[in-house]
Amino acid sequence: MSVYNAKIAGLSGQKDLLSSLNGSVTLVVNVASKCGLTPQYTALTALHEQYSAQGFSVLGVPCNQFGAQEPGSASEIETFCSTNYGVTFPMSEKIEVNGAGRHELYNTLTIAADAEGHSGDIRWNFEKFLISRDGKVVCRFNPTVAPDAPEVVSAIKAQLGK
């Protein structure tokens, strides 16, 4: 199944955010505003801006399941991201990524394993999934891997070259 078939609303109320990304290379990241990893927004924004003209997008997915580090409303999250980090990439509605309420998008994503062999539940904020243009999960990166780490950038470039 293509990841782009999952239905998820945008933070600003768009009904089907993923369909607008279909055909792009997308880095899906569960995000939070009050996390020690929140400064990754800077590198995520830079990646989005650097490669968007080539058909790449970051998709931020707010989640409050880890230490209640994303407690804000949609407008509070949007204001925080734009004011503090100049976020220009699309953001989805706030969802659950683990447990009985896990969003269908993450049912598909969590099947993939990262370089350490971890699959299944999301471990923390800022876990990253690289999605190919045809909606397949190409890579999974643990939360502490920086968005601009060489392995992430090379995987993005490889997908953009296809």
What is the rounded distance in angstroms from the CA atom of residue 50 to the CA atom of residue 111?
Answer: 29
Distances (CA, A) of 85 to 1, 53, 73, 162: 33, 20, 17, 30
Exposure string of 81-117, with b = 16+ CB inside 10 Å and e = fewer, is beeebebebbbbbbbebbeeebbebbebbbebebeee
Residue 20 is classified by DSSP as G
| Active site (catalytic) residues | 35
Collapsing DSSP to helix, strand or coil, 17 comes out as: coil
Residue 155, C-beta contacts closer than 8 angstroms, at least 6 positions apart: 130, 138, 139
Q: Which amino acid is at 13?
A: G
DSSP assigned state of 83 = H
